[in-house]
Amino acid sequence: MLIESMPPYAYPLLIAAGFVAGFVNTLAGSGSLVTLPALIFLGLPPTVANGTNRLAILMQNMVAVSRFRDFGVLEVRKSGWLAVPAILGVLRVRLRCPRSASPASPDTDGGSLRDPVRNAGLPSIKLL
């Protein structure tokens, strides 16, 4: 969806969702519970809405890290050691998941979407 083709009510909705999400993130996190449905409601495909939301989360985390460093509460050595298992986990999933032309391309089991957890060999949780 191009910004020129957005309906007039979209702008105040996005601004309000942004403020509410910022407030919620300041208190407890999970502001994505506000922004992601708002983006999908406005017509963005879920994958694009999720990617857009991830960019906002990346920016928020970059600002948080810089502020933690400014106040002297960021322990860089400890952070580096915590980053090692996170990077290894990302590499494991990345190397084990096959690449596809489309993130929503059908799998070999009759049209279901690709499951990165199953493809990475990680345990999955079955819901009722």
Say if residues 64 and 73 touch (Cβ distance below 8 Å).
no
The letter for the amino acid at 54 is R
Residue 85 to residues 73, 89, 91, 95, 110, Cα–Cα distance (Å) = 22, 6, 10, 15, 35
The letter for the amino acid at 114 is R
Residue 126 lies in a domain: no
- Print the domain residue range for 62: 1-74
Please tell me the predicted confidence (pLDDT) of residue 123.
52
Residue 32 lies in a domain: yes
Residue 115 lies in a domain: no
Please tell me the predicted confidence (pLDDT) of residue 110.
42
Please tell me the predicted confidence (pLDDT) of residue 111.
40
Per the structure, the count of domains in the chain is 1
Residue 1 lies in a domain: yes
Say if residues 38 and 14 touch (Cβ distance below 8 Å).
yes
Residue 83 lies in a domain: no
Question: CA nearest 38: which of 60, 16, 54, 59?
Answer: 16
Please tell me the predicted confidence (pLDDT) of residue 3.
56
Residue 27 lies in a domain: yes
Question: CA nearest 19: which of 5, 34, 37?
Answer: 34
Say if residues 32 and 53 touch (Cβ distance below 8 Å).
yes
The mean pLDDT values, 10 residues at a time, for the chain of 128 residues are: 69 88 82 89 87 86 86 83 88 74 45 48 51
Tallying the residues shown for the chain, one arrives at: 128
Is the pTM higher than 0.75? no
Please tell me the predicted confidence (pLDDT) of residue 101.
40
Residue 123 lies in a domain: no
